[in-house]
Chains A and B, each alone.
Chain A
């Protein structure tokens, strides 16, 4: 597992994971064999942008543009990506 998330890294959802909006839950969920994770609003916004194409830097910029009033957004986004990577919800693209 990487210690630091690099800004030029590109992540995609881990193989066999699915991400979708659930009306009944009023939020985004991650689905995988044997489990499901309900993401809170901020986490959902970050994972939504993990598409296997955008770099970490682009995801941060994208979030900042979408939520200009939120302070310290970069740290939050990086922390979320770090957590998701540790949990193996997302994986580095080669």
Chain B
């Protein structure tokens, strides 16, 4: 297989170092920027069992997986996370619970510590109660502070993830100060990437270039002051870059996701792509899924590339960008990511940047991520909202 896929490009055969377990799509929060599939409601009744998850962990570890993310939805809605964490600990994973904090109790965190969970990544949204509660469509502001204190008390590395959008980007300095005050070790300022719900809400969420540049300057200044005491990652939004991101570090190169219903994916939104049938752990072995399945081999290496990527001297740097984004925005899964200034479809990004300056678009109602809206999308009731993008149901 490596020969068919230009083995010179990367280390072949690749190994799945990162395993992301999207253990449930159920979530008590309804964040407008969620990247989960807009039809997630179709995957909430057929979750894998505890035994199936344990088998997934064992099989992936044998294949070389090392970093484990337990995510969702909100993973703490499942009552077997303690068992899953303990299994991960005994297998030697470096494990991470990615949570909103809802459902984290003293009893559970103590059990996670005993089981060997390595860190907890807590999502925070803003320094103000109003914006936290608005963007998540919940009343969770005070809870998050309590959970942060609990994480500290149990001597976990404090990893905060803050998704950045136009509602909080101007508070970035204060957000960093808050992170410092609660003793964060790592802070990820993740500018919204536009997939799933966030793509539907893009006009309402996307900051302007001026806002972004200001936020980056404030972040850099903060970094200089705190040094190594707190590591700050600033995830640049690719719409404002000249070149696309090397999505997932390459399709099927290092990253493997198993979703709530057992699908095995090379990235979070791969199911939006046309003509691909993804393996499922109920029917296929993980090893076959990763090494042999047609879906995992489809965009490995660069044999699939068209011009202008094919002859581009930078093709190994970014591998033509993100397949899902390209398809969602242009309808051609094998084209050049429109983020690239060399892409023939780059104008769709320029238009989105232009739209970010339009207050009328920004004032449209937000579609929150919740079961009712997901059901409506599945039933075809929100056709007007979905129409500008390819592949959404």
Contacts and interface: CB of A to CB of B under 8 A. Distances in A.
Interface stretch (A27-35, A39-47, A59-67, A71-79): A27-35
A16 B64 contact: no
A33 B15 contact: no
Contacts of A7: none
Contact of B96 (A22, A33, A88): A33
Given A24-B64, A25-B64, A33 B228 contact: no
A24 B59 CA distance: 13
A36 interface: yes
A88 B229 CA distance: 9
Contacts of B231: 88
Nearest to B188: A34
Contacts of B15: 24-25
A15 interface: yes
Nearest to A23: B64
Interface residues of A, number: 15
6 contacts: A18-B94, A20-B92, A24-B63, A24-B64, A32-B157, A33-B185
Interface in A1-22: 1, 15-16, 18, 20, 22
Interface of B: 15, 17, 63-64, 66-67, 92, 94, 96, 118-119, 121, 156-157, 159, 185-186, 188, 228, 231, 233
Given A33-B157, A36-B94, A16 B185 contact: yes
Interface centre among B94, B96, B157, B228 (most CB of A within 10 A): B94
A31 B118 contact: yes
A44 B121 CA distance: 28
Contact of A16 (B92, B157, B228): B157
A36 B68 CA distance: 12
Contacts of A16: 118-119, 156-157, 185
Contacts of A36: 17, 66-67, 94
B227 to A, nearest CB: 8
A31 B63 contact: no
Contacts of A33: 96, 118-119, 121, 157, 159, 185-186
A84 to B, nearest CB: 12
B157 A15 contact: yes
Interface centre among A16, A25, A33 (most CB of B within 10 A): A33
Contacts of B119: 16, 33
A88 B231 CA distance: 10
Contacts of A15: 157, 185
Contacts of A18: 94, 118
Interface string A79-92: 00000000010000
B118 A34 contact: no
A54 B113 CA distance: 28
Nearest to B18: A36
Contacts of A88: 228, 231
Given A24-B15, A31-B67, 16 more contacts: A16-B119, A16-B156, A18-B94, A24-B63, A25-B64, A31-B66, A31-B94, A33-B118, A33-B157, A33-B159, A34-B186, A34-B233, A36-B17, A36-B66, A88-B228, A88-B231
B156 to A, nearest CB: 8
